[in-house]
C-alpha cells in the first residue's frame, strides 16, 4: 500500500500522496532521522522545526490535494512512529572520513583526487578530537547533499 506524507511547520505545509516505500525512505526518512534539512514538496524542511505525519493506506486519485489528504486521514493508518523506528534501526552507523596528509592543502588535494577516503567509526573520530590528538591537524565537516556524488566542492 502507498504512503501519504505531510510535513508541516507553523507557517508551511507540504503533502505528497501515493509514495512507495523506497521513495518515502529516500526523500523523507533518511534525511529526517539524520536531522538534515531536505527538499520536499518544493520547500526545504528542517526536522527540528517541522512535524511529520506518515499515513499508509489505499492509493488515492488526486484531484485536489486537500481533499486527497482528508481522504487519506479517513482511510489510512498513521504509521509515522513505526516508519521512523524502522528507518533508525536500518540506518548505517555514523562514520567519519580519515584523510592522512602532511598539511591542510595535502588533505584537500587528497579529497579532490577522486579516491575514496578511509571511513572510521564516528566514536573513534570523536575520541581523537576530544583527546586533542596532536596528529589531528584539522576537522572538516562535509554534509552530503542529496543527488550529488561525494565529494563535491563548490
Residue ranges covered by each domain of the chain: 3-90, 92-154
Q: What is the pLDDT of residue 110?
A: 78
- Asked whether the predicted pLDDT for residue 66 surpasses 90, the reply is no
Cell, residue 92: 548505517
Q: What is the pLDDT of residue 42?
A: 87
Kindly report whether the global pTM for this prediction surpasses the value 0.75: no
Rg from Cα positions in the chain: 20
φ, ψ dihedrals at 50, nearest 5°:
-130, 165
pLDDT in tens, 26-62: 899 988 887 778 899 889 998 888 999 999 999 987 6
pLDDT-based confidence at residue 154 (cuts at 50, 70, 90): very low
Q: What is the mean pLDDT of residues 96-122?
A: 74
- The CA distance from 72 to 108, in Å, is 49
Residue 2 has pLDDT above 80, yes or no: yes
Amino acid at each position: 500500500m502507498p504512503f501519504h506524507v505531510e510535513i508541516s511547520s507553523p507557517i508551511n505545509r507540504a503533502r505528497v500522496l501515493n509514495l512507495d516505500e523506497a521513495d518515502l525512505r529516500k526523500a523523507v526518512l533518511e534525511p529526517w532521522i539524520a536531522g538534515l534539512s531536505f527538499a520536499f514538496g518544493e520547500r526545504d524542511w528542517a526536522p527540528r522545526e517541522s512535524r511529520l505525519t506518515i499515513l499508509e493506506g489505499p492509493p488515492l486519485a488526486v484531484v485536489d490535494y486537500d481533499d486527497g489528504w482528508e481522504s487519506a486521514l479517513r482511510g489510512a493508518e498513521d504509521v509515522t512512529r513505526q516508519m521512523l523506528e524502522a528507518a533508525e534501526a536500518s540506518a548505517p552507523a555514523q562514520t567519519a572520513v580519515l584523510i592522512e596528509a602532511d598539511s591542510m592543502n595535502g588533505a584537500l588535494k587528497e579529497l579532490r583526487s577522486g579516491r575514496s577516503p578511509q571511513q572510521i567509526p564516528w566514536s573513534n573520530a570523536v575520541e581523537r578530537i576530544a583527546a586533542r590528538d596532536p596528529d589531528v591537524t584539522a576537522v572538516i565537516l562535509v554534509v552530503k547533499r542529496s543527488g550529488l556524488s561525494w565529494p563535491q566542492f563548490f
